[in-house]
Amino acid sequence: MYKVTTTDMLDPVIPEENILRENGAQLFYGYYKDEANLIDITRDADGIITFLAPMTAKVINSLQHCQVIVRRGIGYDNVDVEAATSKGIAVVNVPDYCTDEVADHTMALLLCAARRIIQGWDQVKSRQWDYRKLLPIHALKDSVLGLLGFGKIPRAISERARCFGLTVQTSDPFVSRDFVAVHGVKLVSSEELFRTSDFISVHVPLAKSNIGLVSRQAFDMMKPSAVLINTARGPVIDESALIDALKNGSIAFAALDVTTKEPIEANHPLLEMENVILTPHFAFYSERAVRILGEKSGGDIIKVFNGCIPESLVNPEVLKIRTDLKRSKGNITSRR
């Protein structure tokens, strides 16, 4: 029987459990504390399911017979893919499970910021009732939403945003002007996006080249009335530059589902600012999304165990080593 170990997830993870058990594998729940502990709980695993645990080269090189590491989510920056590839370990992610959820959450943050919902509620709770203290409030139909990146999630956001009358533009070096135009969106440079957008929403992966992408220079370009939204990954934004921009009025507001360090530290300056909304990195979540996430991650593990190439293989270079892996048709899901 194959052994699959989780590194940092609360049980029960029902979809994976059922799929693995029905296909001759057993799921063990591990809760990493540090690198040494992570090595201890994963050393003898045939497969690993990880969320945020740092799967470093040291951890990966300690694995005795692991065949597959699944990053239970879209990004996989916590996995040393190069180290895994060199050991013949397939790395898998789940890139397409929460598009609607993140798009909805982004729009919720945008609307809360635009309509001053949180500030209004705080005012009422403190027994005040004076909307004039919440002004100015601009009409969405007079506003421009800038999407930094134009993958599946920002495309879903653009559909929602245009329903509210927002003009939408994007900056993404990997898409064409014609492709963007089909979605009713204008393609601009990142500099123009920063300068002309009333709302700027971040949707780029946490690659090394994107760390600190929204920089101090970017904040200097933004409108003083601009709202920055981030439902991607925290380190994409230079957090110290963001704090300074919020303090000195370079931008008006930030609405964030992610931060550089998570959970955010108890004494973090962002927690003391009235012009900030923070949610605890749950834009991805819905019961449906989590079910799909579990089914896809469990299914890809079984594919590898069965000698098949997983659906969402991050490191195709590993196939030069894992010549036993062949292409298959269809997905593996639980019968329950």
Of 275, 325, 292, 299, the closest CA to residue 118 belongs to 275
Phi and psi angles of residue 108, each rounded to the nearest 5 degrees, phi first: -65, -45
In the annotation, is 105 catalytic? no
Of 48, 45, 6, 3, the closest CA to residue 300 belongs to 48
In tens digits, the chain (336 residues) has pLDDT values of 999 999 987 666 678 888 999 999 999 999 899 999 999 999 999 999 998 899 999 999 999 999 999 999 998 999 999 999 999 999 999 998 999 999 999 999 999 999 999 999 999 999 999 999 999 999 999 999 999 999 999 999 999 999 999 999 999 999 999 999 999 999 999 999 999 999 999 999 988 899 999 999 999 999 999 999 999 999 999 999 999 999 999 999 999 999 999 999 999 999 999 999 999 999 999 999 999 999 999 999 999 999 999 999 999 999 999 999 998 755 554 444
**Which pair of structure tokens corresponds to residue 299?**
């299914």
pTM of the model: 0.89
12: preceding bond cis by omega (within 30 degrees): yes
In the annotation, is 322 catalytic? no
Question: What distances in angstroms separate CA 195 from CA 19, 91, 142, 218, 222, one per listed residue?
Answer: 49, 39, 16, 8, 5
The one catalytic residue among 233, 239, 295, 322: 233
The one catalytic residue among 262, 265, 288, 317: 262
The one catalytic residue among 72, 105, 281, 322: 281
**C-alpha–C-alpha distance, residues 133 and 144, integer Å:** 24
In the annotation, is 65 catalytic? no
